[in-house]
Chain A
């Protein structure tokens, strides 16, 4: 079964919660700032007509599960490497995110991660971590080795990949140390963690590993929280925006309606009214 906060001092758990809260606040503020800008836009496109911030968030979440996004359909025809990078990072990150949410549910609300479910859960999350690592690998390869002829250079791109890499590596180290120390039954259901654990076991004794665990765990959560807080301020905001842009691009060829509620509305309405008046003149009011 799932073991939460193993070997972590109470004081550090409090720091963890403080950082978690801070991360949520920064993320929500940053994301809210973005959504507020989006909803300031004009209603020229019927698909987004009248949508406020909540509607836009829902649309982006729903479209995240469109085949275009989950199979990277627009990316693969352009570059297989980039497609694999996207699939690895997107799927890995999404499963790990849902897995973390699942563990929180298990810890705070209803315990369900036991027996076979826990083993399967461990296997899926471990595989997701590996997928994420593979995706990052493709990303780093494309950025630094097999890079395209022309690239817009931006330090942020490297920072994001590096940060994500450190989150995953530190995550596997945390898992590996725990396995090395506790030697839990069925640890091989977390194959990457198990391999890490086997290697780590050969490096140091139990007490040293327990101390190291606290440090690596703290680094892992700091990296993870930094990454999450950075999302709305970085190009990773495309996680939300790209779902909507992709959806509207598919609708582009179907478009027949005239854009509405856009620029110069007053003048257009006046001219339209004048045209209608000329076509159907009103009878003059006769005064006696």
Chain B
């Protein structure tokens, strides 16, 4: 009996299959793609990936393919495709500028899921790292959840057992960029009671597995656990510091939960801007400083709902004396930091080079500080202060004092 060929269409939506045929190779996305900016290699660009994947489908599903091609896509070909696919940081800029409206961010997620399920799997570094850790610990990091709040939760902040306002820090904030989580809880605390999950119940949101590793099979269990845990705390509005956690909560959680979420998930900055408007939060310390704000990809180009562009700016404008200037590329077309969706782990060089481009653009504004609101952007921008020897990082050292890097909530918490 012959082996059934891998079905490249199975599990893809009608929309995604149509999108594969919609690409006109107009090359617009190549001018905006952060990976193209640092590799200059059109063979790993969005149109090239679409063309390749479409070819696999045609090879196995059309009369032309059956007559003129081999029935099976070769392993070498699939490996090349996998390399290209995981060189993308899933920032979604290609979709934003696409002249035929291909929602590439969702498309790449689905295609990653397919390739991860094929004979070539996902990159080993993700398989053996975040994915294995998740199966053991329900976290992409190799640390016990019980210690998740220990290094950053301030002693002088009180967390309620139950409250209408909830806070989810996300693994990236808790372990990689704890200053973000600390800043967020200080601001929430100043505005009123808030609650959080018990640390051992605060599982990963699923982003590193679903987006990074292409592993979606964990999502139903995860979404059910997390939604129940938040509901048990009586939460009505959930502030989420990590925009990627928020993105997956809005996009995949309701689907895998099988219903609308019983609470409103929103970015921490959105909730804080509401609290400022409601008069529950104010910044009393004036600041004589010029700042620029980097819109993280997941907030500028989210899967579902509107981009979150105004709330962080509203918050910054509420600080007396502060001057906010935008980078050349901001809002929906903001630059990628190069750190998301496994890019940092799988392609550290590409990731560092992309971050350098963002850093340089921020520096060009002449601002004293660049603020962001994503643990990965924060970490990837701050890489220049890391000790790992890296040619790009070494080059950055020259600018160490030229531009400070901070998270918006950490920054604002110091102004209470």
On A, residues with C-beta under 8 Å from B are: 29-30, 33-34, 36-45, 48, 51, 56, 74-75, 78-79, 82, 148-154, 157, 233, 235, 237-238, 240-242, 244-250, 252-253, 255, 258-260, 262-264, 267-269, 271-272, 275
Q: How far is the CB of A96 from chain B (nearest CB, A)?
A: 20
Q: Is the CB of B27 within 8 A of A245?
A: no
Q: Which residue of A lies closest to B63 (CB)?
A: A33
What is the interface of chain B mostly: helix, strand, loop, or mixed? helix
Query: Counting CB contacts under 8 A, is B159 at the interface?
Result: no
A232 to B16, CA, bound (A): 18
Q: How far is the CB of A145 from chain B (nearest CB, A)?
A: 15
Q: Is the CB of A148 within 8 A of B12?
A: no
The 3 closest A-B pairs by CB, nearest first: A249-B101, A41-B14, A272-B258
Q: Is the CB of B9 within 8 A of A37?
A: yes
A40 to B349, CA, bound (A): 39
A37-B62, A235-B25, A264-B220 as given contacts; A150 in contact with B42, CB under 8 Å: yes
For A272, what are the chain B residues with a Cβ–Cβ distance below 8 Å?
Answer: 257-259
Q: Is the CB of B22 within 8 A of A238?
A: yes
**Would you give 12 A-B contacts (Cβ < 8 Å), ordered by A?**
A33-B64, A38-B18, A56-B18, A152-B43, A235-B25, A240-B21, A241-B18, A242-B100, A253-B305, A258-B254, A258-B259, A275-B224
A262-B255, A264-B217 as given contacts; A148 in contact with B30, CB under 8 Å: yes
Q: Is the CB of B22 within 8 A of A150?
A: no
Q: Is the CB of A45 within 8 A of B21?
A: no
Count A/B pairs, Cβ under 8 Å.
174
Q: Is the CB of B25 within 8 A of A154?
A: yes
- Chain B 1-46 interface residues, beta-carbon cutoff 8 Å to A: 9, 11-28, 30-31, 36, 40, 42-43, 45
Q: Is the CB of B25 within 8 A of A157?
A: yes
Q: Which residue of B lies closest to A72 (CB)?
A: B99
- How would residues 45 to 79 of chain B score, 1 for a CB under 8 Å from any chain A CB and 0 otherwise? 10110010000010001111000000000000000
Instruction: Give the contacting residue for B17; candidates A37, A79, A247; CB below 8 A.
Output: A37
Q: For the complex, count residues of B whose C-beta is within 8 A of A.
A: 60
Instruction: Give the contacting residue for A238; candidates B9, B21, B95, B260; CB below 8 A.
Output: B21
A42-B11, A245-B101, A258-B259 as given contacts; A152 in contact with B17, CB under 8 Å: no
Q: Is the CB of B99 within 8 A of A74?
A: yes
Q: Is the CB of A150 within 8 A of B36?
A: yes
Q: Is the CB of A42 within 8 A of B12?
A: yes
Q: Which residue of A lies closest to B101 (CB)?
A: A249
For B256, what are the chain A residues with a Cβ–Cβ distance below 8 Å?
Answer: 264, 268
Q: Which residue of A lies closest to B20 (CB)?
A: A241
Q: How far is the CB of B265 from chain A (nearest CB, A)?
A: 13
Q: How far is the CB of B60 from chain A (nearest CB, A)?
A: 10
